[in-house]
Amino acid sequence: MQASLLLTFFALTLFSCKPKGTQSAVSGDAATKVYVAPGKYDEFYNFVSGGFSGQMSVYGLPSGRLFRVIPVFSVDPEKGYGYSEESKPMLNTSHGFVPWDDLHHIALSVTKSEHDGRWAFGNANNTPRIARIDLKTFRTAEIIEIPNSAGNHSSPFITQNSEYVVAGTRFSVPIGDNQDVPINTYKDNFKGTVSFIGVDPKEGTMNVAFQILTPGINFDLARAGKGKSGDWFFFSCYNSEKANTLLEVNASQKDKDFIMAVNWKKAEEYAKAGKGQKKPVRYAHNVYDEKTHSAKSTIMNEVLVLDPKDCPDMVYFMPCPKSPHGCDTDPSGEYIVGSGKLAAVIPVFSFTKIQAAIAAKNYDGDFDGIPVLKYEAVLHGEVQKPGLGPLHTEFDANGYAYTSFFVSSEIVKWRVSDLQVVDRVPTYYSIGHLSVPGGPTAKPHGKYVIAYNKITKDRYLPTGPELAQSAQLYDISGEKMKLILDFPTIGEPHYAEAIPSSLIMNNSKKIYAIEENGHPYAAKGEGQAKVERKGNEIHVYMSSIRSHFTPDNIEGVKLGDIVFFHVTNLEQDWDVPHGFAVKGASNAELLIMPGETQTLVWKPEKVGVYPMYCTDFCSALHQEMQGYIRVSPAGSNVPLTFSTGTNLPTEPGK
Amino acid sequence: MKLEKTWILALLTGSVIWFISCGEQGVKESDPPVDIEKVAEKQPEVHGSEIKAGDIKFENPLNAEWVLSGKGIYELKCQACHKLTTDKLVGPGWKDVTKKREPVWIMNMITNVDMMLEKDPEAQKLLEQCLVRMPNQNITTDEARQVIEFMRQNDGEK
């Protein structure tokens, strides 16, 4: 009875744009499957891109509870990110300080194509950047800007031992000295690039190792090969028409666009053999140092560019219907699944056949001098009538693939071996990416598929014209997928990865050892707290501990002075950050972790006495954790003094 | 509509039964829950194990090296809350603390504060007076011993 009702419901909703009675898709035992009892932990961390919020969020699965928002490409006053002097350099670029970006995709570091729990990478689409998040601290450790790129969408995808993170340009643009060209000379003057960013195997530090110059097309997504295809990288691309206006029509002309296959090992060899050209560019490389609790931004001046015409056998195109988005390799590395947004089939390519076609030079002409492999020669097969608007595919451990369908709002499960559709479930609504825990790796953990939805009409209490974006959790442990939970997300989630909690939680950082604090303005112990004047700069070396600041009375600041509050949190206890705020400060607060030093700059504009206080509840006497700063007129002779506990009240009238 | 109500009822009944009868089982079914206690054991944060009388030796003259390193730890991690006089700041002043308390008691207060506040009536009395829990400052047993040596010197021992 229930099954027939569900079937009818699916049939009805498959092609309607507004599913009714979505609650009936949830079966009676859904709550037990997502309930994580008090005192128990979730099984997976889910790292979710924050879309236009520019942040990365961390949820637990299967509960769907939000644990953390990690600021990456957008300033975050809650944590002082982008406001404290130490974190400002993280958002420096060749365009100066860029306080926002849209974070589209997540890639978790891998060893032998399996999650290793060390780092998460995220991409900035707007001002092309790649960030590395340290999964010990859940903080952004590094941001590197991508030169010769415009709209960094096709990233950050990662090779099987995290050797490289790639960044393919979304927009092709004029590259080189003369960029002041008419837009309609696109076909002559616009070029694309894909960048290979090397990752230091121990520290994770990134560097732009080399770029490959490509025809003027738009790169969408990518995936590295694994196992037998581990030396290769695959990029989906659209606008092979090379249109420069009204792309919704003009970039949908051809029946097939391309997946670009790159032999990155070969590219690496060419780079080492000096086949590339060093081109002058400017891009920022920002690194956060955990010893000094400070970021440093360095402007780089050069990048190595490989031109496929100088580097034979490095780049090939494979025809792929039509405006391909997803480009996903299965756990074995044999199959590459293309997903044409406007295509009626899902083409699945075979790595073995690709190699054979290359060996036999089985070409269908070339595209700007790059060989195009024959579609039929490289095709494993097509999934017929899968749904409308296939976007992205992930895999489980049992030989099944799960593809999201934006237009028909559903997830379709199909068998990789014979390309047969075996199950489908509706999503509410307009799913973009989906995620299976471990789904992009060689060892999927399976168990769940999570849909990340673009539009969520009717799903939650209305909140004005804009509604919460949503993720939906489906149990895939049985033959049929079952919806068991949905939960709201921040921004518009693009992509996410889920990783077993055991790979991360035991390494989570609890404190910064105060003995190792190398910040130049740290007060390592209350005895080092002091206030110094250097010209018109006042440097306050301030310490905080439950439940007071030292010093908490400061006088002698004058108008025209710039006050640097360098606050050191002396606590050495997990989960006891202190906050710091001053009345009228025009940037933000600080949130200082145990053992850390952070700096807030304050330029007082008026004479008076200003309160300062701790913003993060810390003890029964948190409310008492406060102090005063007196600001006198410019030229006043109030001496610079500071104290805690000694500036005792005078008798009234004296 | 009727159908829908029946479903909701079934769901509610189902979850009530589940809550009462087989909560643990239900959880096991959905995910292998992580044992918090076990995870806490793996965490690198330093909580000393309980120190018992007889575990530690005291000798005179004082160990000058320990006095010095104890002083360093005091200045880095203790001074913000404890004066070297009898005056209370956030916590009690340290003057004569080694005469009032067993050194083992002090060391446990430094390294095992959770245990002390749970079990020890004297520690509980102090919390009532100060209203701020003695924070865990990530001090090892050896370091705590050095702090005691500094306290002994502060109390006039030679």
Q: What is the ipTM for the molecules in this complex?
A: 0.81
Q: What is the pLDDT of residue B52?
A: 87
Which residue of A33, A502, A548 is in closest CB contact with B30?
Answer: A33
A548 at interface of B, judged by CB pairs closer than 8 A: yes
**Considering chain A, what is the average pLDDT of its residues?**
94
Q: Residue A287 phi/psi, 5° resolution?
A: -130, 135
Q: What is the pLDDT of residue B11?
A: 45
- The one-letter amino acid code at B93 reads G
Instruction: Tell me what percent of the residues of chain A surpass a pLDDT of 70.
Output: 96
Give yes or no for residue A179 having a pLDDT over 90: yes
Q: Which of A165-174, A202-211, A580-589, B33-42 has the lowest mean pLDDT?
A: B33-42
- Mutate: best of A29, A505, A622, partner B, most B CBs <10 A: A29
Tell me whether residue A53 is exposed, middle or buried, using C-beta atoms within 10 angstroms of its C-beta: 0 to 12, 13 to 18, 19 or more. Answer: buried
Place of tokens 């509050």: A565
Q: What is the pLDDT of residue A386?
A: 94
User: Å from B80 to nearest chain A CA?
Assistant: 5
Q: How confident is the model at residue A23 (pLDDT cuts 50, 70, 90)?
A: low
Q: Are A610 and A595 in contact (CB under 8 A)?
A: no
Inter-chain residue contact B30 with A526, CB threshold 8 Å: no
Number of A/B CB contacts below 8 angstroms equals 119
Q: What is the pLDDT of residue A8?
A: 42
A 10 A CB-CB count for A362 gives 16
Q: Which 459-518 residues of chain A touch chain B by CB within 8 A?
A: 501-502, 505-506, 510-511, 513-515
Q: Which 603-632 residues of chain A touch chain B by CB within 8 A?
A: 619-621
Q: How confident is the model at residue B38 (pLDDT cuts 50, 70, 90)?
A: low
B27 chain-A contacts, CB cut-off 8 A: 32, 35-37, 40
B90 chain-A contacts, CB cut-off 8 A: 545-548, 621
Inter-chain residue contact A41 with B34, CB threshold 8 Å: yes
**Which chain A residue has the Cα nearest residue B11?**
A28
Pair type for strands A164-171 and A173-174: unpaired
CB contact set of A534 (below 8 Å; sequence gap of 6+):
none
Q: How confident is the model at residue B24 (pLDDT cuts 50, 70, 90)?
A: very low
B18 chain-A contacts, CB cut-off 8 A: 31-32
Concatenated DSSP letters of A404-452: EETTTTEEEEEETTT--EEEEEE-SS-EEEEE-TTTTSSS---SEEEEE
**Which chain A residue has the Cα nearest residue B73?**
A525
- B124-141 average pLDDT score: 92
Q: What is the pLDDT of residue A344?
A: 87
Tell me whether residue A245 is exposed, middle or buried, using C-beta atoms within 10 angstroms of its C-beta: 0 to 12, 13 to 18, 19 or more. Answer: exposed
Concatenated DSSP letters of A205-250: -EEEEEEEEE-S-EEEEEEE--GGGTTEEEEEEE-TT---S-HHHH
- A384-392 average pLDDT score: 93
Q: Which of A89-103, A319-333, A352-366, B32-46 has the lowest mean pLDDT?
A: B32-46
**Considering chain B, what is the average pLDDT of its residues?**
78
Q: Are B26 and A30 in contact (CB under 8 A)?
A: no
Place of tokens 């009462």: B20
Concatenated DSSP letters of chain B: -HHHHHHHHHHHHHHHHHHHH-HHHHHHHH-----HHHHHHH--S--PPPP-TTSS---SS--HHHHHHHHHHIIIIITTTB-SSS-BSSS---TTHHHHS-HHHHHHHHH-HHHHHHH-HHHHHHHHHH-SPPP-----HHHHHHHHHHHHHHTT--
- Partnered with residue A596 across adjacent β-strands are none
Furthest C-alpha separation in chain A: 100
- B31-60 average pLDDT score: 65
- Enter the tokens of residue B116: 């002390």
Q: How confident is the model at residue A456 (pLDDT cuts 50, 70, 90)?
A: confident
Q: What is the pLDDT of residue A573?
A: 92
- A223-228 average pLDDT score: 97
**Which chain A residue has the Cα nearest residue B80?**
A526
Per DSSP, the three-state class of A52 is coil
Give yes or no for residue A486 having a pLDDT over 80: yes
Which residue of A21, A35, A506 is in closest CB contact with B27?
Answer: A35
User: Å from A481 to nearest chain B CA?
Assistant: 15
- Mutate: best of B77, B129, B130, B140, partner A, most A CBs <10 A: B77
User: Å from B102 to nearest chain A CA?
Assistant: 25
A593 chain-B contacts, CB cut-off 8 A: none
**Residues A286, A291, A297: CA angle, nearest 5 degrees:** 15
Inter-chain residue contact B30 with A574, CB threshold 8 Å: no
**What letter does residue A20 receive in the DSSP assignment?**
S
- Partnered with residue A218 across adjacent β-strands are A238
Inter-chain residue contact A28 with B31, CB threshold 8 Å: no
Q: Are A466 and A52 in contact (CB under 8 A)?
A: no
A473 chain-B contacts, CB cut-off 8 A: none
**What letter does residue A340 receive in the DSSP assignment?**
E
CB-based contacts of A454-461 (< 8 A; 24+ apart in sequence): A454/A406, A454/A429, A454/A430, A454/A492, A455/A429, A455/A430, A456/A428, A456/A429, A456/A488, A457/A18, A457/A429, A458/A18, A458/A22, A458/A428, A459/A22, A459/A428, A459/A486, A460/A488
Q: Which 360-399 residues of chain A touch chain B by CB within 8 A?
A: none
Pick the closest to residue A234 from A362, A374, A350, A145 (CA basis).
A350
Q: What is the pLDDT of residue A633?
A: 98
Q: Distance between CA A171 and CA A179 in Å, rounded? A: 14
- Enter the tokens of residue A637: 């002779």
Place of tokens 């293309």: A338
Give yes or no for residue A207 having a pLDDT over 90: yes
Per DSSP, the three-state class of A142 is strand
Inter-chain residue contact B77 with A619, CB threshold 8 Å: no
Q: What is the pLDDT of residue B49?
A: 73
- B76-85 average pLDDT score: 95
Q: Residue A366 phi/psi, 5° resolution?
A: -140, 165
Q: Residue A372 phi/psi, 5° resolution?
A: -105, 120
The structure's pTM equals 0.90
HEC string of A63-97 equals CCCEEEEEECCCCECCCCECCCCCCHHHHEECCEE
A20 at interface of B, judged by CB pairs closer than 8 A: no
Q: Distance between CA A589 and CA A81 in Å, rounded? A: 9
CB contact set of A232 (below 8 Å; sequence gap of 6+):
A224, A225, A261, A262, A263, A264, A351
Q: Which residue has the higher pLDDT, A302 or A177?
A: A302
**Which chain B residue has the Cα nearest residue A475?**
B30
Q: How confident is the model at residue B47 (pLDDT cuts 50, 70, 90)?
A: low
Bond from prior residue into A547 cis (ω within 30 degrees of 0): yes
Q: Are A394 and A435 in contact (CB under 8 A)?
A: yes
CB contact set of A646 (below 8 Å; sequence gap of 6+):
none
Pick the closest to residue A366 from A314, A317, A308 (CA basis).
A317
Q: Distance between CA A509 and CA A58 in Å, rounded? A: 16
Furthest C-alpha separation in chain B: 87
Q: Which of A74-88, A601-615, B37-51 has the lowest mean pLDDT?
A: B37-51
Q: What is the pLDDT of residue A168?
A: 97
- Mutate: best of A448, A547, A570, A597, partner B, most B CBs <10 A: A570
Which residue of A62, A550, A621 is in closest CB contact with B80?
Answer: A550
Using CA atoms of A238, A244, A247, A250 in order, give the dihedral in degrees to the nearest 10.
Answer: -90
**Which chain A residue has the Cα nearest residue B12?**
A28
Which residue of B10, B23, B133 is in closest CB contact with A37?
Answer: B23
How many Å from the N-terminal Cα to the C-terminal Cα in chain B?
A: 87
Q: Residue A375 phi/psi, 5° resolution?
A: -50, -50
A37 chain-B contacts, CB cut-off 8 A: 23-24, 27, 33
Q: Are A327 and A236 in contact (CB under 8 A)?
A: yes
Q: How confident is the model at residue B15 (pLDDT cuts 50, 70, 90)?
A: very low
Inter-chain residue contact B36 with A645, CB threshold 8 Å: no
Give yes or no for residue B39 having a pLDDT over 60: no
User: Å from B127 to nearest chain A CA?
Assistant: 11
Inter-chain residue contact B33 with A514, CB threshold 8 Å: no
Pick the closest to residue A425 from A1, A31, A24 (CA basis).
A24
Which residue of B15, B76, B90 is in closest CB contact with A546?
Answer: B90
